């Protein structure tokens, strides 16, 4: 079971959980597993969490990653440059679903390297919609690298209600973060787009070249256009200043520390919460919509592993889709079935077709990812759902809901 984690708790009590053997892990990180975490230096504050040199004694004979041909460009060169001990990675949105997953991968899977400092920010450290607060946080932490996750995020129904807020908030956050990164000389920024920002009317599978090829689905146009502008920022910073700022495009993310709010969260955490309540109260499970729309889900821990690879090895400005295979797309009904099984729910399941379905599908191609990482293995969907349900049940009191 994963620990109930506030940073404070694990900083003071961290003993090393042996890493799960992950087939791709040695290949991606080329590092030994974390044996201890004694050299965590500055975890004092929950608000700004700094992981100093999470031990991960790295095999420095880079280039010999098992499982990968030696001539792959991302193996030959380590794109994450910086003097040893001087790499400071600041994660905006570090307290959210994806930020927490990165933190866990760094702690438990040898994902951190000697000399790296990791700083995980919450909105309490700086409201990134505010330029002065954004400047102050860059001034304070002086990052060399940024993983930019902070965003106004929500599910279908929250998006439908608040398109203007999604547009304005995310535009401000992204402009502030990217521009301060540039002004403070940050070497690399990895931002997060989403497959739900692609054109509504399109051919499938969608790929990285199609982001701007037509209007997004009307349910989330505010979020979508704001996210698309990150790609515009990245291209413009490269054209004008040669900056290598890039973005990843994940599909639907889920995992521990998700937002399990039924009204405002994403479909899978919402289903988990509703099933939990239905089970407790002995009522039917109401699934919103027909259950027919299809989605590719990515487990937050898999996304975290891939984000570390992107930060260190991926050298393009153009974004990259991070997704399971097309054949692994599941219907909302199949997702509900997985939740029902994971929680052992025995009651009736009802599909409420008076509720919106949203975009029918967004099937994305991961062929670009597969060219770089042919051997990366994603956590099986049912296993990831089970782990997420277990986390939710064990952490019900502290979970966002």
Ligand X SMILES: NC(=O)c1ccc[n+]([C@@H]2O[C@H](COP(=O)([O-])OP(=O)(O)OC[C@H]3O[C@@H](n4cnc5c(N)ncnc54)[C@H](OP(=O)(O)O)[C@@H]3O)[C@@H](O)[C@H]2O)c1
Instruction: Answer yes or no: are the C-beta atoms of 141 and 90 closer than 8 Å.
Output: yes
The one among 159, 220, 224, 259 contacting ligand X by CB under 6 A: 259
Cβ-proximal residues to 57 (8 Å cutoff; 6+ apart), any chain: 31, 32, 35, 114
Residue 295, SS3 per DSSP: strand
* Choice between 252 and 379, CB closer to ligand X: 252
Q: Which of 266, 295, 368, 401 binds ligand X (CB under 6 A)?
A: 266
The CA-atom distances, in angstroms, between 201 and each of 210, 217, 218, 225 are 11, 8, 11, 15
Task: Return the number of the residue (31 or 163) whose C-beta is nearest ligand X.
Answer: 163
Q: In this structure, what are the phi and psi dihedrals at residue 145, rounded to the nearest 5 degrees? A: -140, 145
Q: With beta carbons less than 8 A apart as the criterion, state whether 260 and 328 touch.
A: no
Sites for ligand X among residues 93-112 (CB under 6 A): 93-99
Question: Least distance from C-beta 306 to ligand X, angstroms?
Answer: 12
One of 10, 172, 223, 276 is an active-site residue; which one? 223
Stretch that binds ligand X, among 25-33, 117-125, 200-208, 342-350 (CB under 6 A): 117-125
223 is an active site residue: yes
Chain residues 142-161 in contact with ligand X, contact rule CB under 6 A: 149-153
Complex with ligand X: residue 250 or 319, whichever CB lies closer: 250
Given the complex with ligand X, which of 130 and 183 has the nearer CB atom?
Answer: 130
Name which position in 27, 252, 366, 379 contacts ligand X (CB under 6 A).
252
Which of 133, 326 has the CB closer to ligand X? Answer: 133
- Tokens describing residue 38: 């004694």
Residue 32: count other Cβ atoms within 10 Å of its Cβ: 14
Nearest residue relative to ligand X (C-beta): 96
DSSP string, 197-257: GSBSS--SSB-GGGTTSS-B-GGGHHHHHHHHHHHHHHHHHHHHH--EEEEEEE-EEE-TT
Cis amide prior to 317 (ω within 30 degrees): no
In angstroms, the CA 128 to CA 122 distance is: 10
Beta carbon of residue 101, minimum distance to ligand X (angstroms, whole number): 8
Q: Taking CB under 6 A as the criterion, which residues in 2-61 touch ligand X? A: none
Closest separation in Å from C-beta 300 to ligand X: 7
Q: For ligand X, give the closer residue by CB, 52 or 125.
A: 125
Q: Please enumerate in sequence order all residues whose Cβ is within 8 A of that of 147, keeping only pairs 6 or more positions apart, or say none.
A: 89, 90, 91, 92, 102, 189, 190, 307, 311
Q: Strand, helix or coil at 316?
A: coil
Strand pairing partners for 390?
A: none
Nearer to ligand X, 149 or 343 (CB): 149
Q: What Å distances lie between residue 229 and 29, 130, 187, 201, 244, CA to CA?
A: 31, 18, 20, 19, 16
Question: What does the DSSP 8-state code read for residue 378?
Answer: P
For ligand X, which residue of 53, 129, 301, 343 counts as binding (CB under 6 A)?
129
Stretch that binds ligand X, among 24-32, 48-56, 72-80, 248-256 (CB under 6 A): 248-256
How many residues sit close enough to ligand X to count as binding (CB under 6 A)?
A: 26
Binding segment for ligand X among 37-45, 52-60, 120-128, 358-366 (CB under 6 A)? 120-128
Q: Which stretch binds ligand X (CB under 6 A): 10-18, 29-37, 123-131, 204-212?
A: 123-131
* Residue numbers annotated as active site: 223
List interacting residues with ligand X (CB under 6 A).
Answer: 93-99, 122-124, 127-129, 149-153, 173, 192, 194, 250, 252-253, 259, 266
């Amino acid at each position: 079971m994963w620990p109930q984690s506030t940073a404070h708790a694990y900083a003071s009590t961290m003993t090393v959980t042996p890493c799960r053997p992950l087939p791709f892990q040695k290949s991606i990180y080329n590092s030994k597993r974390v044996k201890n975490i004694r050299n965590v230096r500055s975890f004092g504050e929950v608000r700004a969490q700094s992981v100093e040199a999470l031990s991960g004694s790295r095999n420095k004979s880079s280039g010999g990653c098992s499982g990968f041909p030696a001539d792959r460009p991302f193996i030959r060169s380590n794109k994450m440059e910086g003097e040893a001990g001087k790499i400071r990675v600041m994660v905006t949105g570090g307290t959210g679903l994806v930020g927490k997953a990165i933190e866990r991968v760094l702690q438990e899977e040898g994902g951190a390297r000697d000399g790296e400092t990791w700083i995980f920010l919450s909105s309490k450290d700086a409201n990134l919609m505010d330029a002065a607060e954004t400047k102050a946080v860059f001034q304070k932490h002086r990052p060399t690298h940024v993983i930019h996750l902070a965003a106004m995020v929500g599910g279908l129904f929250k998006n439908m209600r608040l398109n203007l807020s999604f547009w304005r908030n995310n535009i401000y956050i992204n402009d502030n973060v990217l521009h301060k990164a540039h002004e403070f000389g940050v070497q690399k920024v990895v931002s997060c787009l989403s497959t739900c920002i692609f054109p509504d009317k399109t051919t499938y599978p969608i790929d990285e070249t199609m982001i701007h090829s037509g209007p997004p689905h009307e349910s989330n146009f505010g979020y979508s256009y704001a996210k698309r502008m990150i790609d515009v920022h990245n291209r413009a910073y490269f054209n004008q200043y040669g900056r290598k700022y890039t973005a990843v495009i994940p599909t639907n993310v889920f995992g521990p520390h998700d937002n399990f709010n039924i009204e405002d969260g994403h479909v899978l955490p919402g289903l988990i919460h509703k099933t939990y309540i239905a089970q407790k109260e002995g009522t039917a499970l109401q699934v919103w919509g027909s259950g027919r729309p299809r989605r590719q889900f990515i487990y937050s821990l898999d996304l975290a592993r891939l984000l570390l690879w992107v930060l260190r090895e991926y050298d393009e400005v153009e974004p990259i889709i991070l997704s399971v295979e097309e054949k692994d797309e599941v219907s909302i009904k199949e997702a509900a079935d997985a939740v029902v099984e994971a929680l052992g729910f025995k009651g009736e399941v009802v599909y409420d077709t008076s509720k919106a379905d949203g975009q029918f599908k967004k099937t994305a191609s991961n062929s670009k990812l597969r060219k770089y990482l042919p051997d990366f293995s994603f956590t099986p969907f049912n296993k990831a759902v089970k782990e997420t349900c277990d986390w939710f049940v064990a952490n019900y009191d502290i979970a966002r809901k």
